[in-house]
Amino acid sequence: MIIYLKNIWETYATVFEGMAITFSYLLQRPITVQYPDRMKESVPETLPEKYRGRLMVDTELCTACGLCAKACPIDVIEMKGGRAEGKKGLRLIYFNIYHGKCMYCNLCVEACPAEDGEEDEHHTAIYFKKNFEGSSYTLNGLVEQFIPPDEARRRLKESEEIAAKRAAAAAETTKNSEAKQESDKPKDGGDV
Amino acid sequence: MINLIYMFVFSLVYLLLLALTAGILTYVERRIAGRMQSRIGPNRVGIQGILQFIADLIKGVQKEDIIPADAYAFLFKIAPYLVFMGVFLTLVPIPFGAYTLMEDLDVGIYYVLAMASYVVIGLMIGGWASNNKWSLLGGMRSAAQKISYEIPAALGVFIVVIMSGSMNFQKIVAAQGASPVDWFVFRNPFTFIAFNLFFIASLAEGNRVPFDIPEAESELVSGYNTEYSGMRFLFFFLAEWGNLVVIGALVTCMFFGGGSFWYEWKISIPAPGRDPIVFEVLGFLWFLFKTFFFVFVIIWIRWTLPRLRIDQLMDICWKYMVPIGLISSLGIVIWMYFIPENSTIDRIVRLTLTSLGAITVLYFKYRVYKNLKITKATIYANPFV
């Protein structure tokens, strides 16, 4: 009999407690974030410091060394560097990132040697933006070309010209040096 | 002839109002559920999503009306309407005001119980005509549950009928008063038990959580309405939400003083010298307020409690509610014989019960406040986000 009454009491007591809890939730603000159109602040501002969004490259800073492309385990980065007029070292000819493939592993960023000297989150030439929006209806839409195709074609031509020029110059020097070597060669010890 | 036209017009108005209310209630329920789960709920269609139920309706109408090849087409088609009709017909004797009712039946409560059982036929027909064994089993389960819980509900009603001496809703309301002390729920311990019996049994009859074993949307494939699609499917839901209003109205009438809202004013006896229309409107609004409060409580229970097991369901009905109901219906008779109305003991008991109710409400507020403190949340009571 006592158990019987206790059961009844417990039923009411637990239902009472449960209803108090749900009612307290009724008075709280929902935690739902109404993305994307009813946000008070833009989404990237709300993200954590080390958030990895879309991969991005600073084409000015980049030295076209190709280490990121080598570091990438799934060939997300497709790039080529070439010589340029009036610039020491290499310059980018094209730099394409296949966002559809990227798995945000950060290996390319670790490999990048080009730094701008600041201590912020993106001090390397290749870095992750906080922006994550970039859906596309086609797979090709997920390929981002940081150097526009026209510009890339122009740069390729330029670098090829320079390369050809240098090759010619190099050929000249080798010819000269060969000729010099020829003249310096002792006459009898020729074929060994 | 004129009477016939009046009848037609009024039933049409009632029907539309019930359908509209049921539709809005689906939206309200989803919003409340959302807030209780730290979500928002539908808020895109119309201002704050108020038109969501119309969007759902349009979707339901657009869907193909599938009738299984081997189903008994006529019964299959008619079952949802039977269910909806059963719920709608229970509204007939409910007094929303002194004059705002369809028919002042002398056997009002009896009629309501009969119509509530009538829903069972619709469910069984729907389950059977689908020609699907799961639907049939679902229909059987619903029917079994509804019929078992008729008994505690009837016992609760029985106590009220003994207290008021009538089955007429107007007289039941008139037997109570405007202040909580006069309500049947706080009148004496047995009527309080009757309220609990009737309310719990109504939840079970309406297939609401925690008694929604027949439908169990998260576990089974919905029971008797498995094979239904489109508008017919929505009719079952319309009936379910219409039933909420009916339960709320019945509880208000029988235990919470109906639309009486002023001292010494009884709903069926408009006092002389007062404007009847003003009192009618005020009484109607007060009745609606109480009704929708109980609708809110039912929704709230749904989003609080988990589902019972079938053995627990049977335990509650046969081991707890039926014996307690029988004992209290005996008790009420003895009580009424020995303790006449408005005697000292009667008044003391009423006051004690009412203050116990008030203490419960205050303690509830305290518990809610505690829970808010535990979660360290700031209060945001605005229903619109």
Per residue in B18-55, pLDDT (tens digit) is 889 888 999 999 999 998 998 888 888 888 888 999 99
Three-state DSSP state, A186: coil
Task: Clarify whether residues B90 and B27 are in a common domain.
Answer: no
Q: Which residues of A touch B (CB under 8 A)?
A: 4, 7-8, 15-32, 34
The answer as to whether B384 is a domain residue is no
How far is the first Cα of chain A from the last one, in angstroms, to the nearest whole number? Answer: 117
The stretch A67-81 carries a mean pLDDT of 90
Task: Clarify whether residues B176 and B56 are in a common domain.
Answer: no
Task: Clarify whether residues B279 and B184 are in a common domain.
Answer: yes
| Closest A-chain CA to B32 | A26
Q: What is the pLDDT of residues B300-327, one digit of tens each?
A: 999 999 888 888 888 899 999 999 999 9
Q: What is the mean pLDDT of chain B?
A: 86
The answer as to whether B230 is a domain residue is yes
Task: Clarify whether residues B323 and B223 are in a common domain.
Answer: yes
Task: Clarify whether residues B288 and B329 are in a common domain.
Answer: yes
Distance from CA of B30 to the nearest CA of A (A): 12
Task: Clarify whether residues B200 and B254 are in a common domain.
Answer: yes
User: How much is the pLDDT for A98?
Assistant: 92
Cβ within 8 Å, pair A21-B371: yes
- The DSSP symbol for B316 reads I
C-beta separation of B239 from B233 below 8 A: no
Handedness of CA A29, A30, A31, A36 (dihedral sign): negative
Round to whole Å and give the CA distance between B156 and B171. Answer: 17
Choosing from B42, B62, B82, the residue where a domain stops is B62
The answer as to whether B362 is a domain residue is no
More confident residue, B84 or B177: B84
Give me the residue from A17, A25, A30 closest to B40, CB to CB: A30
Cβ within 8 Å, pair A22-B380: no
The answer as to whether B85 is a domain residue is yes
User: How many residues are there in chain B?
Assistant: 385
More confident residue, B36 or B263: B36
Give yes or no for residue B272 having a pLDDT over 60.
Answer: no
B39 CB neighbours in chain A (<8 A) are 30, 32
What is the helix, strand, coil percentage profile of chain B, to 5?
70, 0, 30
Cβ within 8 Å, pair A25-B368: no
Choosing from B62, B79, B95, the residue where a domain stops is B62
Instruction: Write out the residue range of the structural domain in which residue B302 sits.
Output: 68-338
The stretch B89-118 carries a mean pLDDT of 85
The answer as to whether B350 is a domain residue is no
Using a 10 angstrom Cβ sphere, with 0-12 exposed, 13-18 middle and 19 or more buried, the burial of residue A30 is middle
Choosing from B338, B354, B378, the residue where a domain stops is B338
Q: A-contacting residues of B 37-56, CB under 8 Å?
A: 37-40
User: How much is the pLDDT for B195?
Assistant: 93
The answer as to whether B86 is a domain residue is yes
Task: Clarify whether residues B215 and B119 are in a common domain.
Answer: yes
Task: Clarify whether residues B175 and B239 are in a common domain.
Answer: yes
Q: Which residue has the tokens 């019930």?
A: B18
The answer as to whether B104 is a domain residue is yes
Task: Clarify whether residues B25 and B79 are in a common domain.
Answer: no
Query: ipTM of this complex > 0.90?
Result: no
Task: Clarify whether residues B124 and B57 are in a common domain.
Answer: no
Give me the residue from B305, B368, B385 closest to A24, CB to CB: B368
The answer as to whether B198 is a domain residue is yes
Q: Which two tokens stand for residue B130?
A: 């689908």
Task: Clarify whether residues B136 and B224 are in a common domain.
Answer: yes
Task: Clarify whether residues B141 and B29 are in a common domain.
Answer: no
Cβ within 8 Å, pair B375-A30: no
Give chain B's domain count.
Answer: 2
